[in-house]
Chains A and B, each alone.
Chain A
Amino acid sequence: MLSKKQARAFFLGGTLVTFLIFIGLTVYSLSEAQDQSNYKDITEQVVRGKHLWESNNCMGCHTLLGEGGYYAPELTKVIERRGEGYVKALLMSPNPWAPNGRKMVAYGFSEDQATDIIAFLKWIGNIDLNGFERVVSPLAKDNN
């Protein structure tokens, strides 16, 4: 029968081993050679766009890379799907954007800010998502 000492060894040993594997895999998958996100394409404009995305909690309603609020459309491929003009218009709209009855906050971004957010979304749209970008409709162009 298992003793308390053995149970403790199982807990400590198992935790240590899996933690070390986890760190190893993290280092491997975040190494430059494994980059799937086109990290080198992140410009200052993209970073400004990311900051606007965060400081307005866009993720509170939308999803991006499949993560977020489930209340408003997934935006990973939004530029490809809707085009820059449409996205820019709604970002700069002084009135709540509600094409299907569900309202978006009227942020009334300036043209520069809207361009920054679009640059960020364009960078997002080029990430290799292990198939999520192709299978999930209506994200991909070829599905529309």
Chain B
Amino acid sequence: MKYKSQKVAYWFFALSMLLFVLQLVYGFIMGFAHAGLDGLHSIIPFNTAKAVHLNLLVVWLLSGFMGAAYYIIPEEAQRELVSVKLAYVQLISLALVGVAAIVGFHLNYWEGRKFLEIPRPLDYLVVVNVLLFLGLILVTLFKGKRKTTTALVLSMGLLFAALLYLPGMLPFDSQVLDSFFRWWVVHLWVEGVWELIMGGILSFLLIKLTGVDREVIEKWLYVIVGLTFLSGILGTGHHYYYIGVNKIWLIVGGIFSAMEPLAFLAMALFAVNMYRKGEKKHPNKQALFWTLGSAIVSFMGAGLLGMAHTLPQTNLYTHGTLVTAMHGHLAFWGAYAMIVLAMISYVLPNLTGRKLYNGARGRAAFWLSNIGMIGMTVAFGVAGVAQVYLERIMKMDFMEVQKMTEIHFYVLILCATLFLIGVILFIIDFIKYGRPTDEALETNQP
């Protein structure tokens, strides 16, 4: 049984894809600037491009998570959303706040705190928007016929994500305190509560795609999110090593950061094992590829590459270098972008009634984007390691080193082009699916 109000999800995903493409445009501007080609400097200087690139990432992923929640919650709670009209109001206001912030960044109107550049007045609108979203999701869940673990974990992730936005709005005179609490938002989002959201979506997809018993999947979901918080909360310490706070974080952050890959390893093993165990052969292989891909690539990007530079003795040299960008790109791609794309791949055939999941275009989108992103990660890594050695060990000047590593950004741009082609193919499929229909939702679906 499907629910008509699930159609709202489609428009959140559409907004997601639009902002995703725009995010990549700004990524290219930054890549070219790093390679020495900064012809757009007078119109879009690097700090504008960077703020837009980061914030579009956050907004398109949030829009994707919201779309996923609007699809998953009615199905799990076995009832329609409490108000479709308000969901559309929430979508439009989210888009407006996003656009206003992006325009502001071009006019030197921002807060200038990495990842939290959105200026304060718009922060309040973000809070109102998210409260509306949470209200719709939580009321639907609690009025529903059943409250599944999957729905609870997903909702808990969304609720905590909203609460954790607040420490980022506290005003401080000290840069050290500012930075300290900025990580409460950024770290506890991406290495904490967003993993609950990812886990909830992953669990929903695995139940649908593998046919493994819900009880088994949800039991392991608890173990995984348990491992995430056990390592991730105190793992925040790896951001506190060298920003002007007590040395105790070197020990605490070091130990718990070293445990962080366990959660991602568990997630990857869990997804692959459920797939092997599953007897149901769901026809939507494309959704399955993105789902398993997300679990595996997040282990590589967030787990392994994260740990590679969060040991205090390594981080002393890599802190504030392109090594961080190496980890950041593969981590966000694997853990969050791919899970949103997995959800879209699963949902579109159900919403539109068209079954485009066996096409070559979808397969090409998966492989090209992943190969492109891994290539980009390697390019960032080579540039970052070279920067660490030349600038921090050999004591060379920052800009001299930047000149010497420019070549790696040409490689990065080539790989990013491959990545972009993959994403464009995914979006062509998205467009070809067409709009959602009531008839499609009324038919029985696997």
**Which residues of chain B are within 8 angstroms of A102 by Cβ–Cβ distance?**
36, 38, 399, 402
**Please, how many angstroms separate the alpha-carbon atoms of A53 and B245 in the complex?**
21
**Which residues of chain A are within 8 angstroms of B322 by Cβ–Cβ distance?**
70
State which of B178, B215, B244, B392 has its C-beta within 8 Å of the C-beta of A127: B244
Most chain-A Cβ atoms within 10 A of its Cβ — which of B34, B41, B218?
A: B41
Contact B46 A36 (CB under 8 A): no
Q: Does A110 contact B (CB under 8 A)?
A: no
Contact A59 B112 (CB under 8 A): yes
Q: Name B47's closest neighbour in chain A (CB-CB).
A: A60
**Which residues of chain B are within 8 angstroms of A56 by Cβ–Cβ distance?**
108, 112
Q: Does B140 contact A (CB under 8 A)?
A: no
**Which residues of chain A are within 8 angstroms of B236 by Cβ–Cβ distance?**
22
Q: Which residues in chain B, 124-139, are within 8 Å of chain A measured between CB atoms?
A: none
| Minimal beta-carbon separation of A142 from chain B (angstroms) | 11
Q: Name A100's closest neighbour in chain B (CB-CB).
A: B399
Q: Which residues in chain B, 35-87, are within 8 Å of chain A measured between CB atoms?
A: 36, 38, 41, 45-48, 50-51
**Please, how many angstroms separate the alpha-carbon atoms of A41 and B361 in the complex?**
61
**Please, how many angstroms separate the alpha-carbon atoms of A140 and B285 in the complex?**
55
Q: How many residues of A contact B (CB 8 A)?
A: 68
Q: Name B397's closest neighbour in chain A (CB-CB).
A: A138
**Which residues of chain B are within 8 angstroms of A74 by Cβ–Cβ distance?**
320, 398
| Minimal beta-carbon separation of A79 from chain B (angstroms) | 14
Contact A137 B391 (CB under 8 A): yes
- Given A30-B177, A143-B395, A7 and B233 touching (CB < 8 A)? no
**Please, how many angstroms separate the alpha-carbon atoms of A68 and B54 in the complex?**
12
**Please, how many angstroms separate the alpha-carbon atoms of A56 and B176 in the complex?**
18
**Which residues of chain A are within 8 angstroms of B215 by Cβ–Cβ distance?**
4
Q: Does B223 contact A (CB under 8 A)?
A: yes
Contact A8 B47 (CB under 8 A): no
| Minimal beta-carbon separation of B189 from chain A (angstroms) | 15
- Given A53-B112, A74-B320, A69 and B46 touching (CB < 8 A)? yes
Contact A70 B325 (CB under 8 A): yes
- Given A4-B218, A68-B320, A137-B392, A57 and B243 touching (CB < 8 A)? no
Interface size class of B (residues with CB under 8 A): 35 or more
**Which residues of chain B are within 8 angstroms of A120 by Cβ–Cβ distance?**
175
Q: Does A86 contact B (CB under 8 A)?
A: no
Identify whether the interface residues of B are mostly helix, strand, loop, or mixed.
helix
Q: Name A29's closest neighbour in chain B (CB-CB).
A: B246
- Given A25-B252, A29-B245, A30-B245, A65 and B175 touching (CB < 8 A)? yes
Q: Does B242 contact A (CB under 8 A)?
A: yes
**Which residues of chain A are within 8 angstroms of B179 by Cβ–Cβ distance?**
65, 67
| Minimal beta-carbon separation of A39 from chain B (angstroms) | 6
Contact A37 B33 (CB under 8 A): no
Contact B321 A70 (CB under 8 A): yes
- Given A36-B245, A71-B33, A132-B242, A100 and B400 touching (CB < 8 A)? yes
**Which residues of chain B are within 8 angstroms of A39 by Cβ–Cβ distance?**
174
Contact A60 B174 (CB under 8 A): no
Contact A65 B114 (CB under 8 A): no
**Which residues of chain B are within 8 angstroms of A73 by Cβ–Cβ distance?**
398-399
**Which residues of chain B are within 8 angstroms of A69 by Cβ–Cβ distance?**
46-47, 50, 114
**Please, how many angstroms separate the alpha-carbon atoms of A6 and B51 in the complex?**
43
Stretch at the interface among B224-232, B292-300, B333-341, B423-431: B224-232
- Given A25-B248, A69-B50, A105-B45, A10 and B223 touching (CB < 8 A)? yes
Q: Does B290 contact A (CB under 8 A)?
A: no
State which of A18, A60, A72, A132 has its C-beta within 8 Å of the C-beta of B319: A132
Contact B174 A37 (CB under 8 A): yes
Q: Which residues in chain B, 166-193, are within 8 Å of chain A measured between CB atoms?
A: 173-180
**Which residues of chain A are within 8 angstroms of B51 by Cβ–Cβ distance?**
57, 60
Q: Does A85 contact B (CB under 8 A)?
A: no
Contact A7 B223 (CB under 8 A): yes
- Given A7-B219, A59-B113, A29 and B175 touching (CB < 8 A)? no
Q: Which residues in chain B, 286-308, are within 8 Å of chain A measured between CB atoms?
A: none
**Which residues of chain B are within 8 angstroms of A53 by Cβ–Cβ distance?**
112, 175
Contact B229 A61 (CB under 8 A): no
Q: Which residues in chain B, 394-430, are within 8 Å of chain A measured between CB atoms?
A: 395-400, 402-403
Contact A65 B249 (CB under 8 A): no
| Minimal beta-carbon separation of A115 from chain B (angstroms) | 18
Q: Which residues in chain A, 108-144, are within 8 Å of chain B measured between CB atoms?
A: 120, 124, 127-132, 135-138, 143-144
Contact B324 A70 (CB under 8 A): yes
Q: Which residues in chain A, 46-88, are within 8 Å of chain B measured between CB atoms?
A: 46-47, 50, 53-61, 63-74
User: What residues of chain B have their CB less than 8 Å away from a CB belonging to chain A?
Assistant: 30, 33-34, 36, 38, 41, 45-48, 50-51, 105, 108, 110-114, 117, 149, 173-180, 215, 218-220, 222-223, 225-227, 229-230, 233-234, 236-237, 240-250, 252, 256, 316-317, 319-322, 324-325, 391-393, 395-400, 402-403
- In order of increasing CB-CB distance, the 10 nearest A-B pairs are A60-B47, A66-B320, A11-B226, A100-B399, A132-B242, A7-B222, A57-B112, A54-B112, A29-B246, A137-B395
User: What residues of chain A have their CB less than 8 Å away from a CB belonging to chain B?
Assistant: 2-4, 7-8, 10-11, 14-15, 18-19, 21-22, 25-26, 28-30, 34, 36-37, 39, 42, 46-47, 50, 53-61, 63-74, 96, 99-103, 105, 120, 124, 127-132, 135-138, 143-144
